[in-house]
Amino acid sequence: MHRSWRELAERLAAAGLPTLRFDYPGIGDSAGGDDDPDRVRAWLQGIHAAIRCLRSITGIGEVALVGLRLGATLAARAAAERGGVDRLVLMAPCASGGAYAREVTTMARLNGSSQPQAGGLEFAGFTLSAETLTALRGLDFATLPAIPATRVLLLNRTDVRNAAGVADQLRTLGAEVTEEPFADFATLMNSVQRGVTPDAPLDRIVAWLSANVPAGILAPRLPPPATHLKMPGAVETPVLFGPDHGLAGVLCEPVIPSGADRPTLLLLPSGAWHHIGFGRMLVLLARRLAQAGYTSLRMDISGLGDSAPRHGRRDGLLYRKNSCADTTAALDWLEERGSTRYVVLGTCAGAALALHTALAYKRVVGQVMINPGRFTLGEGFSMELAGKIESHTPGFYLAWLGSPAAWPKLVREIIRKPRRIWEIIRALARRTVRRLRPADGPQSYFRQVAARGVKTLLVYSADDVSLEELEAHFGRHGHRLKELSNVQLEFIAGADHNLTLRSAQEDFFQLLEAHLAAYKGSVSSTASGRRYSASDMRYRSIN
């Protein structure tokens, strides 16, 4: 929802309504983490703090809250605690925090990338402790202490029955409730994958909030203050850079400069996620790096997160050639601040962009690539299309084809998902083509950066779908990479594509810290030793 929230905020501002969007404590770019105590109370206090901040900046007394799902439930409770706000927009609210907790717990049990956590759960890159789950069960529209707002816009999901009780409770408290169907709920929740945000729900919210508002009284009294977020070991600053200052990012610096000659890291998120990374991994990584003395910039490329779109190109496109202009603009900005050496880090589509940034920018001394889905860039495509063209490795299908006992399973899989047959044909064809053209683009890319002395850390989840790309260009387990200097290839066992589990993230963080220890002083343009031995082609796996 990050990009859609940004779009909504811009439409509200254009209608004359100063708007603040924020991250709860321990979420997004805010300080704190999932393991901090009393999370639900901290989230409610975050809403109260946001209201105070908005009033301080604008000098306006009337405040409206807009919340989605659990955010709507939290907004109603925070508003009731204040004795009410002026207007309240509830988008597909959870009738209770307990219902939300049950839903997430069920989803976690059905998902392979989850892990129990001493009465709590870890799911989709986030942790809900036992304390948080208990506190969530105390949130309920039936127990609101007071009317949350005199006027409420309630957008009800059309695919489930969950809102009738919410409307009745609000009317019992004396609220004037406008109920409307939220037919675009599923599309809105998938907008980052589709690259397109539906207009109808955003337009309706803007029209409802701006109705009957006097003109000419809503200009902000003061510009927003310059902001620095100070934490133990790290200080962060939101920044704008690039053409027309249209690119956004967060600079994370050590509180006390290390004094050592360390490179600056440019962090690129996976897929169409904004600059926090999947499961907030880039936030955790940046702050950990700052404690070790490294400066980093986590950024949004154009059309994603908080960065402005490119003219004539839709949002949310991945693997775009012109995205290199965004990353080089970030490195130019860092150079203006005094940085001279860079390591570019990316996951999935961000990994491919890291590679091409290293090719384009001569002061890049290192690249860190996590599960690159492909090594080439083109005109770009949406995450939705990327999901449709994913395939297993050729070795995965060859193992099934070569084992008659597995043929019934393969046939059932093809019947269940007919497109699997095209994945098999495409995967085998790609392997054949690569063997006929061994000196194709990706091999050339890696040779060029290796010749410049650029160090490469290439990390894969042990069974990841992106291994198909590695094997297509560099053979089984990437054995052709042994011919290149300064290349370190690692596999993390038990990890998914986005390193969702904290244990997988910790394994990666340790690999990265060991890898960065090699960046001392200048980087030689000659080989400094090889990761591989011709007599031993085993690869170290993190277990």
Write down the pTM of the prediction: 0.85
- Report the C-alpha gap between 228 and 237 in whole angstroms: 5
Q: What is the pLDDT of residue 195?
A: 67
Q: Is the pLDDT confidence value at 380 over 80?
A: no
Nearest to 316 by CA among 325, 303, 306: 303
Do 169 and 162 meet the contact criterion of CB atoms below 8 Å apart? no
Q: What is the pLDDT of residue 351?
A: 95
Q: What is the pLDDT of residue 415?
A: 73
Which residues, 6+ apart, have CB-to-CB distance to 218 below 8 Å?
16, 17, 18, 58, 60
Burial of 534 (0-12, 13-18, 19+ CB in 10 A): exposed
Q: Is the pLDDT confidence value at 8 over 90?
A: yes
Q: What is the pLDDT of residue 535?
A: 28
229 Cα distance to chain centroid: 20
Cα distances (Å, whole numbers) of residue 184 to 187, 189, 400, 456: 5, 9, 41, 43
Q: Which two tokens stand for residue 155?
A: 């957008």
Mean per-residue pLDDT, 104-126: 77
DSSP sequence for 41-99: HHHHHHHHHHHHHHHHHH-----EEEEETHHHHHHHHHHHHTT-EEEEEEES--SBHHH
DSSP sequence for 335-398: HHTT---EEEEEETHHHHHHHHHHHH-TTEEEEEEES-S-S--BEEE-HHHHHHS----HHHHH
Nearest to 96 by CA among 141, 37, 56: 141
Mean per-residue pLDDT, 3-26: 94
Burial of 420 (0-12, 13-18, 19+ CB in 10 A): middle
Mean per-residue pLDDT, 301-330: 85
Mean per-residue pLDDT, 9-25: 94
Tell me: the pLDDT tens digits for 395-439? 555 555 656 666 676 677 667 667 667 666 766 666 565 555 544
Sketch out the chain's domains with CATH numbers.
Answer: 2-96+139-210 (3.40.50.1820), 237-389+437-519 (3.40.50.1820), 391-436 (no CATH)
